[in-house]
Amino acid sequence: MLNVETRHAIDPATAATFDTTELREHFHVSNIFVPGEINLIYTHYDRMIVGGATPAEGPLELDHVAECGTASILDRREMTIVKLGGPGKVTADAEYDMVHGDMLYLGMGAGKITFSGEGRFYIISAPAHQTYPSRLIKIAEAANVTLGAAENCNERTIYQFVHPDVMKSCQLVVGMTKLQKGSIWNTMPAHVHDRRMEAYLYIDLDESARVIHLMGEPDETRHLVLKNEEGAISPPWSIHSGAGTSNYAFIWAMAGDNVDYKDVEMVSMETLK
C-alpha cells in the first residue's frame, strides 16, 4: 500500500503564528513506518520526498507516484535509502543487501524499487538532472569528522555518506550524526542555509526518550517534541538543532542549490530567542 501526503511550503511569518498542533501538522514527520505500507511526504521545499517502507509480511514495490508527474519515481529523481532495524534487501537496477545504518544511493533512471526483509527503510528523494551510478555505502566507507566536547554535552561524530567527499550526486547530501553517551546537543551553535532545505530523522532512542527539536527563525524559535524514528522538515529559513533526554543519532538530508556542506550562515548564541 502506498500513501502520499503533500506538504506545501510555509513562510517564516506564517510559521511564527502557529500553535503546537499547526507546527506538527506542517513540519513533524511521523507514522511513516507502518507494517505493510510505503508512506511518503512530498514537500514543496526543493521538492524533497521523505518517507518509509516497512515490508513486514512481504515485499513492497515503489514505482509510480502521481505527485512526481512521471511514470516511475526515479525517472527524474535520485534517492537515498537508509536501513533501520534488521537486515533487508532493495532491488532496483541491481540487488542490494542492507543492514542497520547502511545507505543506498539510487541514481536517476534506476527503475522501480522493491523493499523486502526485516526492519524499516527510510526514503529520501529529490529531483535530479543527471544520472550518477547507484552505490551502497557502509558506515566504514563514509567520510567522518568528530566535533564537540563532553563538557559541553555535544561530543558527536558526523558521518557523510552521500556527500561530495565520498561520491557524486545531483543535489542530495545525506549523512548520519551519532552523539556519544552523556551528550545531548546537536548543531548548536545553530545555523541556517537559505540555499537548501533539510530533513531530520531521529533514531536509536529508547521508547521513553525524547528529543526537543528546535526550529524557526533565529529570533523567533519554536520546538517539536519527537520520539524514536520521528523527524522534522526544516525549511531553508529555519534553524535545525536539538537536545535529547539521552544520547541519540539522527539522519540528516539536504537538497537545494548547493552541495557544499559548509555553505551555511552561522547564528550566534546572542541572536537566538
pLDDT digits (tens, 9 = 90+) for 131-188: 999 999 999 999 999 999 999 999 999 999 999 999 999 999 999 999 999 999 999 9
Q: pLDDT band for 114, please (50, 70, 90 cuts).
A: very high
Q: Say what percent of the chain tops pLDDT 90.
A: 91
Mean predicted lDDT score pLDDT of the chain:
96
Of 165, 73, 158, give the one whose Cα is nearest residue 123.
Answer: 73
How much is the average pLDDT of 56-85? 96
Residue 123 predicted with pLDDT over 80? yes
* Residue 264 pLDDT: 83
273 vs 132: CA distance, rounded Å: 42
Which has more confidence, 259 or 199? 199
pLDDT digits (tens, 9 = 90+) for 1-33: 999 999 999 999 999 999 999 999 999 999 999
Interstrand relation of 103-106 and 135-137 (parallel, antiparallel or unpaired): antiparallel
Annotated binding-site residue? 198 = yes
* Residue 261 pLDDT: 75
* Residue 260 pLDDT: 80
How many Cβ atoms are within 10 Å of 125's Cβ, its own excluded? 27
Annotated binding-site residue? 240 = yes
Domains, the chain, ranges and CATH? 2-10+29-137 (2.60.120.10), 139-266 (2.60.120.10)
In this structure, what DSSP letter does residue 67 have?
A: G
Residue 263 predicted with pLDDT over 90? no
Of 181, 163, 182, 184, give the one whose Cα is nearest residue 172.
Answer: 163
* Residue 262 pLDDT: 79
Annotated binding-site residue? 44 = no
CB 178 within 8 A of CB 159: yes
155-162's contacts with Cβ under 8 Å and 24+ in sequence apart are 155/179, 155/180, 155/182, 155/183, 156/180, 156/183, 156/186, 160/261, 161/80, 161/103, 161/105, 161/137, 162/80, 162/103, 162/105, 162/137
Annotated binding-site residue? 193 = yes
What pTM was estimated for this model as a whole?
0.96
Phi, psi torsion values for 73, nearest 5 degrees:
-60, -30
Tell me the C-alpha to C-alpha distance, in Å, between residue 102 and each of 85, 118, 270.
10, 14, 38
Phi, psi torsion values for 35, nearest 5 degrees:
-50, 130
Q: Cis ω on the peptide bond leading into residue 189 (within 30° of 0)?
A: yes
Q: pLDDT band for 258, please (50, 70, 90 cuts).
A: confident
How much is the average pLDDT of 223-239? 97
* Residue 265 pLDDT: 87
CB 254 within 8 A of CB 196: yes
Residue 73 predicted with pLDDT over 80? yes
Residue 67 predicted with pLDDT over 90? yes
| 162 Cβ contact list (under 8 Å, min separation 6) | 80, 103, 105, 137, 169, 172, 173, 174, 175
